[in-house]
Chain A
Amino acid sequence: AQKVTQAQTEISVVEKEDVTLDCVYETRDTTYYLFWYKQPPSGELVFLIRRNSFDEQNEISGRYSWNFQKSTSSFNFTITASQVVDSAVYFCALSDLTTDSWGKLQFGAGTQVVVTP
């Protein structure tokens, strides 16, 4: 069965510090997709990244970077030099082909990031 675990409920940092969000997933499928979304106080879920199970290259986009490790079933997210605008809830999500071929997303519980000036 699909499962996504985000063990960190809340992380508080001071501006310019780096912050790493952990995501551990479970799936029996060999083909799956992992996502990160940001949910600011306004409530809308903003898509950040999609990664398929065959691409283990780490990715960097501006201050954001992602570390995908199939050996540990983890897909961690790092914000470098955090800013107040990064304050939000961040969700990791998984979709695979075995439990549901229609693209159902299984979300983690989310990690609240609080960045103070």
Chain B
Amino acid sequence: EAGVAQSPRYKIIEKRQSVAFWCNPISGHATLYWYQQILGQGPKLLIQFQNNGVVDDSQLPKDRFSAERLKGVDSTLKIQPAKLEDSAVYLCASSGTSGAQETQYFGPGTRLLVL
């Protein structure tokens, strides 16, 4: 079974530029998550989708971050404009459905460096 796919793996941009990340979850997984992991810290949830609907975006900086999952499968996370403090690893995860008991499976992440 194929795992969670993410691209690109690495991205370097200058501040105020825009960037987009792509994620394809495990086939059949209804729930998709985007996490931000700053160096030396644990991942922090940015947004959670159940199929193509948002169930939690309380920690998403909506003035600059946006995400969509239009057909309930793959998803795109965008930052516009980027700031220096957005330098982090962006992890995508998926699970069969939503719920505290569900195991989340993670992709390899996208390492973003904002100069």
Interface residues in chain A, defined as those with a beta carbon under 8 Å from any beta carbon in chain B: 4, 31-33, 35, 37, 42-47, 50, 52, 91, 93, 95-97, 100-105, 107-110
Per the bound structure, the CA–CA distance linking A93 and B89 in Å amounts to 18
Interface residues in chain B, defined as those with a beta carbon under 8 Å from any beta carbon in chain A: 31, 40-45, 48, 50, 55-56, 89, 91, 93, 95, 98-109, 111
Per the bound structure, the CA–CA distance linking A71 and B43 in Å amounts to 27
CB-CB under 8 A from B91, the residues of chain A are: 45
CB-CB under 8 A from B109, the residues of chain A are: 43-44
CB-CB under 8 A from B107, the residues of chain A are: 44
Q: Once the chains bind, are A45 and B31 in contact (CB under 8 Å)?
A: no
CB-CB under 8 A from A52, the residues of chain B are: 101
**Chain B, Cβ-Cβ closest to A99:** B100
Q: Once the chains bind, are B89 and A102 in contact (CB under 8 Å)?
A: no
Q: Which of B45, B95, B106 is close to A45, meaning CB atoms less than 8 Å apart?
A: B106
CB-CB under 8 A from A32, the residues of chain B are: 100
**Chain B, Cβ-Cβ closest to A6:** B42
Q: Once the chains bind, are B103 and A50 in contact (CB under 8 Å)?
A: yes
**Chain B, Cβ-Cβ closest to A45:** B106
- Beyond A33-B100, A108-B42, A110-B40, 14 additional contacts (C-beta under 8 Å) are A44-B107, A45-B91, A46-B106, A47-B106, A95-B100, A101-B100, A103-B99, A103-B100, A105-B43, A105-B45, A107-B43, A109-B41, A110-B41, A110-B42
